Amino acid sequence: MRCTCILLIFLLSSCALDRVENPIIQALTSQSPKIQSVVQNLESHEVQIKLTTISKQKDSAIFKDFNFKVDNRNYFYPASTVKFPVAVLTLEKLNEENLYDLDTPFFVEGDSVTTTFRNEIRDIFAVSSNDTYNRLFEFLGQDYINKKLRDKGLIPSQISHRLETTDADELTTKPLVFIENDSSLITTDPIINKPLDPLNLNSLTKGKGFYRNGRLINEPMDFSEKNYLPISTIHNMMKRVFFAEYFPEEQGFDLSETQHKFLIETMSILPRDVGYDPNAYFDGYGKFFIYGDTTEKIPNHIKIYNKVGYAYGYLTDCAYIKDSKNNIEFILSATIHVNADEIYNDDVYEYDSIGLPFLAELGREIHRILIDR
């Protein structure tokens, strides 16, 4: 705790010397127990936070970036945040190939579910379906995903596997079967992807044990072949989606106007908007900042365009937040680790008691600070 206090004092002093008020530091000095319980144990919680404030002036925008402990070399598991680039790149590939559209029915060979890309992308943002991600993964393949991210300068990053399935690491994708004219079936060829090199980062072995097939393995868990999407990369991706005009064309996403409009609308979608029971899937279910620890409805004047992820004790959110009532907007990305027993896959994580309250309160504090400026 003493080291943590010294760190915060140092950071605050540095900001004062630079005459720059970092809203993140201001938020972390809040006396809220939801904030302080994490601040007192920053190292174990592996907190990383990035904020971009956005000031509109006539027809232009001024962006100001703030960071707290953001380091691409320090690995954290991105969980479902990897669904964000996969969803956007699905739209780009549809636009490139121009063979199918958002509403063309399809199924993955061997799967019993017939769906459309519109439904799949909606489910990714509304309830973060793993099955949906896996279907889009079969459509793209990891080689396509990683090349596109590299070409757009969205690095470092490495998307290497599906989620929660026995064939997560399979290099050959399953064919997709498209249904045309209600009867004609068109089957795509499987994509054979190249093996990826293991990650070379800090903190790739974690904890003191993990469960595999119901058995406890008393050794650290190896994350070197897991997905990798650091805070800086996903944060910059959010900028490209909403402020493409401020980036070189080759760094943006090749989407039609209709696709882009659909993406924007879908990223703010709430579970109740697509028919999910609001008692089970409340507004904050996929909106960790500001509302992640409450069952309250999000007011109409606040729009949150985001993608969250949680697994292995990691909670992450990347969000573009607009408050039309108070005329503020900002991009906030953060991750926190909550695994006190240091055992992975035991389903004993402090999501509800520490992680969600911290991210929600962080969002509220940042929101309040920017309103008061």
pLDDT digits (tens, 9 = 90+) for 41-76: 999 999 999 999 999 988 899 999 999 999 999 999
- Domain layout of the chain by residue ranges: 73-227
Which neighbouring-strand residues pair with 250? none
Residue in the structure block whose two tokens are 């050794």:
219
Q: Strand (E) positions, the chain?
A: 48-57, 60-68, 106-108, 176-180, 184-187, 205-206, 209-212, 215-217, 221-222, 302-311, 314-323, 328-337, 343-344
Q: What angle do CA 261, 253, 286 make, to 5 degrees?
A: 60
134 with 163: CB under 8 angstroms? yes
CA distance 221 to 240: 34
pLDDT values of the chain reduced to their tens digit, one per residue, 373 residues = 444 444 454 444 444 433 358 999 999 999 999 999 999 999 999 999 999 999 998 889 999 999 999 999 999 999 999 999 999 999 999 999 999 999 999 999 999 999 999 999 999 999 999 999 999 999 999 999 999 999 999 999 999 999 999 999 999 999 999 999 888 999 999 999 999 999 999 999 999 999 999 999 999 999 999 999 999 999 999 999 999 999 999 999 999 999 999 999 999 999 999 899 999 999 999 999 999 999 999 999 999 999 999 999 999 999 999 999 999 999 999 999 999 999 999 999 999 999 999 999 999 999 999 999 8
DSSP single-letter state for residue 202: B
337, 44 Cβ separation under 8 angstroms: yes
Convert the pLDDT of each residue in 4-39 to its tens digit. 444 454 444 444 433 358 999 999 999 999 999 999
Nearest to 365 by CA among 284, 287, 290, 286: 290
The pLDDT assigned to 316 comes to 99
Query: What pLDDT does 181 receive?
Result: 87
Residue 271 is given by DSSP the state G
pTM score, whole prediction? 0.94
The whole-number pLDDT of residue 16 equals: 45
Determine the pLDDT at residue 84: 99
The whole-angstrom separation of Cα 59 and Cα 239 is: 17
